[in-house]
Amino acid sequence: MITLAHIRITPSETWLNGKVVSNSNINGIYREFIGDYPKFFKMDSLCKLGFIAAELILKGQTPELKENASIILFNRNGSLITDRNYQMTIADDHFFPSPALFVYTLANIVTGEIAIRHKIYGESSFYVLPHQDDEMINDVVNKAYLTSNPSFILTGWVDYDDDDNYVADIKLVTK
C-alpha cells in the first residue's frame, strides 16, 4: 500500500503530512479550516473528530476519485461517548429518550457523515479493536482489495474517550 496523506489530531496538536497545522480543539479546527457545514454542530464528538480529519486529508481529491473511494475506520470505544449520553436520557426517574442522540449510538455513523460530505459511494466499514494496532489495521485494509477495487481508502484510527482524550490517526492509502 502507498500512503498518499496522513493526519493526526489530538486535543493539543493537529499534524498534516508531518507538519503541525493547528493547536486548536475540534471546534476550533472546524472554525479555522472549514466553517461552511452547519450540520457539523449536530454531530456527536466521534463524528466531529472523524469529519474534520477527513475534511483536511481529502483536500485536493477530485469528485471522480472520491466517488469510488472506501472508508474503513477502527477504534476501541465504539460509540460509547454517545452511548453514555443517551443512557442518561432514559433513567427511570427522567425518561426522555433522545432520537437525536440515539442515531449516534453506532460507531459507523462517522463513516456515513464523511461519505455524505464528500459523496463517497464506496465501501464504508467500521471495526472495533482492543487497542490501536496499526499492523492489524493495515492487514484488514490491504485485504479489502481482495473483494473491492476502490480508487483510494480513507482509513485509520478514530477514537473518542472524552474531551481530553481523543485521537484521529488517519491515512489515505492506495494499492
Partner 1 sequence: MEGVMITKIADNIISPLGCTSEENFKAVLSGETELKKHEGTFGLPEPFCASLFNRDDINKQLDYELRSVGNLTFFEKLCVLSAKRAIEECNLSPRETNVIFILSTTKGNVEFLEHNLSDQRCYLAESAIKIAKYFGNNNSPLVVSNACISGVCAQITAIRELLSGKYRYAVVIGGDVLSKFIVSGFQSFKALSPEQCKPYDKDRIGLNLGEAVGTMIFKAGKPSNEGYWRYVACSIHNDANHISGPSRTGEGSFRVLSDILKNIGIDEIGFVNVHGTSTAYNDEMESIALHRANLDNVPINGLKGYYGHTLGAAGIIETILSMKAIENGVILPTKGFGTIGTSYNVNISNQVRKTDKSAFVKILSGFGGSNAGISYQKGGKA
Q: Given the rule CB under 8 A, which residues bind partner 1?
A: 71, 76-78, 80, 83-84, 86-88, 90, 92, 95, 97-99, 102-103, 105-109, 111-113, 115-116, 118-130, 133, 136, 139-140, 142-144, 146-148
C-alpha cell at 64: 471522480
Which is nearer to partner 1, 17 or 98 (by Cβ)? 98
Q: List residues bridging with 9 in a β-sheet.
A: 14, 168
CB of 22 to partner 1, least distance (A): 26
Residue (61 or 111) nearer to partner 1, CB: 111
Q: Which is nearer to partner 1, 24 or 166 (CB)?
A: 166
CA 146 to chain centre: 23
Question: Three-state SS for 85?
Answer: helix
Pairing mode of beta strands 153-162, 165-174: antiparallel
Nearer to partner 1, 20 or 128 (CB): 128
What is the nearest approach in angstroms of partner 1 to the Cβ of residue 140?
7
In the bound complex, what is the minimum distance in angstroms from residue 97's beta carbon to partner 1?
4
- 74 to 28, 32, 118, 164: CA distances (angstroms): 24, 26, 19, 20
Q: Which residue has the cell 498534516?
A: 16
Judged by CB, which is closer to partner 1: 59, or 119?
Answer: 119
| Cβ 60 to partner 1 shortest distance, Å | 19
How far apart are the C-alpha atoms of 30 and 40, rounded to whole Å? 8
